[in-house]
Structure 1
Amino acid sequence: MHVGPIITVSDLDRAREFYEGGLGLTGEPTPGGWLLRADEGTVIYLLAGFSDAGTASWPVASFRVADVRSTVRRLRSRGVPFLGAAELPFQLDDDGVSADTPGLRVAWVRDPDGSVLTVFGRDPED
């Protein structure tokens, strides 16, 4: 069984620029939208043309990485905007990574439509 989240977008070109150019995923056309590939066979489907894209108040996709801090720094250098302390009910460190989630490090980002995504990983200190 193959499973992958579907993220609705209002503008496919703008979403592709973010997911491919910013996050570094690779993509290809798929019926109704765009298929994005990540590591370990992970995929995300972008479904285009939705005026209510980005209205979910929870993370619609999460990216597990080995080193959250270095990933956040790399993505930020590509222009990916991470959410700050004023936008989240969590304490954040100087890199914008959760400081109060024992055993886990998390950073939050919004795509161009406002959908929330997380970058997360195990805390190497726990």
Structure 2
Amino acid sequence: MSPVIAVTDLERARAFYEDGLGLDGSPAPGGGWIPTGDHGTTLTLLPDVSDAGSASWPVATIRVDDVHAVVRDLRDRGVPFLGPDDLPFELDADGVSVSQEGLQVAWMRDPDGSFLTGFSD
């Protein structure tokens, strides 16, 4: 399964997903782009969509081994994360929410404003 993420500017989105998030990419049929990563992560970027970023829920969730380490690394690359003023639940010092069950989730937006999450357990 691969979430399809609508983007207005494919080159800007590629820079975010590849340079910012560190995913590798390849061309998709029809002019899109397919970034891939660890744990079987595969996304499809669909270009030239006027209402890109309009969803108010996460459009993709990416599993990582250590969400805290990933957040620190991505922040160093300039990826902005949502903070306590943006979310209705508590975040730790790295900006990660931790559930009672131990699920750890970091929240961010891509350049079009689409919600993305990274998680580990």
Residue by residue, what CA displacement relative to the aligned partner does 1:44-75 show, whole Å, maximum 9, x if unpaired?
00000011000000000011111111110001
User: In the alignment, does 2:44 pair up with 1:45?
Assistant: yes
Which residues of structure 1 form unaligned runs of 5+?
none
User: TM-score with structure 2 length normalisation?
Assistant: 0.94
Q: Over the residues paired in the alignment, what is the CA RMSD in angstroms? A: 0.9
Aligned counterpart, 1:70: 69
**Aligned-pair identity (%):** 62
Give the secondary-structure state (helix, strand or coil) at the position aligned to 1:54.
Answer: coil
Aligned counterpart, 1:89: 88
User: TM-score with structure 1 length normalisation?
Assistant: 0.91
How far the C-alpha of 1:29 sits from its partner, in A, is 1.1
Aligned counterpart, 1:10: 8
**Take 1:118 and 1:34, find their aligned partners in 2: how far apart are those partners?**
20
**Take 2:39 and 2:81, find their aligned partners in 1: how far apart are those partners?**
24
Which residues of structure 2 form unaligned runs of 5+?
none
Aligned-partner residue type, residue 79 of structure 2 = V
How far the C-alpha of 1:40 sits from its partner, in A, is 3.3
Aligned counterpart, 1:36: 35
Aligned-partner residue type, residue 24 of structure 1 = G
Runs of 4+ in 1 over 2 A off after TM superposition: none
Contact 2:41 2:63 in 1 (8 A): no
